[in-house]
Structure 1
Amino acid sequence: MAAVGVDMERHLIELGESEMAAEDVLTDRQTIVDLDRKRNKTREALRSLQKDKETEKTWLCMGNMFLKLPKPKAKEMLQKDFDQLDEEINKLRKNLKIKVDKLRDIEQEDSLKGFHLQPLSKEELKAIDSVL
């Protein structure tokens, strides 16, 4: 009887760890989606500023207030926000792979095949093009 209680307790602990790891993965995925939406809106704003050649100043919404700024300053701020969002998304994606591996280890499943593939860098693409 005591062995059954120990096994049950061990299974409950493993289930709790699995649930926490899964929740962590889901939270990061939702954060990536939210940040990606912000990044796309920032990209749209930058594009809009690049197309508009008529005005020297533009209105920019920052938090809960609107500011009238010179276009170059507004573009600079938006580009900085875009770069920061891009960096944060990439960092979350990199950490997400580690968290998914941890979850699969807890669930005693094999690692995903091809999950850690990285795209070719510009230098690698150039090297391939030169060979072909």
Structure 2
Amino acid sequence: MASVKKETDRLIDHLSVIEEAAEDILSDKQQIIEFDLRRNKTREALRSLQKSNKEKKSWICIGGMFIKMPKKTAVKMLEKDYDELEKEINETRTKLKPKVNKLRDLQNEDDIKGFGLEPLSQSEVRAVERLL
């Protein structure tokens, strides 16, 4: 009877570890979605500012407050925000791959084929072009 209880406890612990890993993955995916929405809104604001040639100053919303500032300063701020969001999305995606592999290992499943692929660098592309 004691061995059945130990086996049940071990199974529950294993399922808890799997559940934690899955929740961590879902949390990262949701974070990527939120970053992407913010990045798209920032891109829209940048394009809008770049199209408006008449005005030298623009209103932008920062932390719930509207502030009028020079257009160039606003564009620089939005570009910086866009770059930061792009960086955060890429970092989160990079961290996501090992987490998915860990979950698949916990579930005794094979790795996803092609999941770890990365694009060629510029120098690698040039080397391939020279060969062709």
- TM-score in terms of structure 2 length: 0.95
| Offset at residue 78 of structure 1 (A) | 0.3
SS in 2 for 1:120: coil
Q: How many equivalent residue pairs?
A: 132
Q: Which moved more, 1:88-97 or 1:105-114?
A: 105-114
Q: CA-to-partner distance for each residue in 1:49-70, whole Å, 9 max, x for gaps?
A: 1111110000101121001010
| Offset at residue 6 of structure 1 (A) | 1.0
| Offset at residue 113 of structure 1 (A) | 0.9
State whether structure 2 residue 42 is matched by structure 1 residue 59. no
Q: What amino acid maps onto 2:6 in structure 1?
A: V
**Equivalent-residue separation in structure 1 for 2:36 and 2:5 (angstroms):** 46
Structure 2 unpaired stretches of 5+? none
Q: What amino acid maps onto 1:2 in structure 2?
A: A
Structure 1 unpaired stretches of 5+? none
| Offset at residue 123 of structure 1 (A) | 2.7
Q: CA-to-partner distance for each residue in 1:33-90, whole Å, 9 max, x for gaps?
A: 0000000110111111111111000010112100101011001100110011111110
| Offset at residue 120 of structure 1 (A) | 1.8
Structure 1 partner of 2:44: 44
Structure 1 partner of 2:2: 2
State whether structure 2 residue 118 is matched by structure 1 residue 115. no
**Equivalent-residue separation in structure 2 for 1:4 and 1:131 (angstroms):** 63
SS in 2 for 1:127: helix
| Offset at residue 131 of structure 1 (A) | 3.3
**Equivalent-residue separation in structure 2 for 1:46 and 1:26 (angstroms):** 30
- TM-score in terms of structure 1 length: 0.95
1:33-112 matches, cutoff 5 A: 33-112=33-112
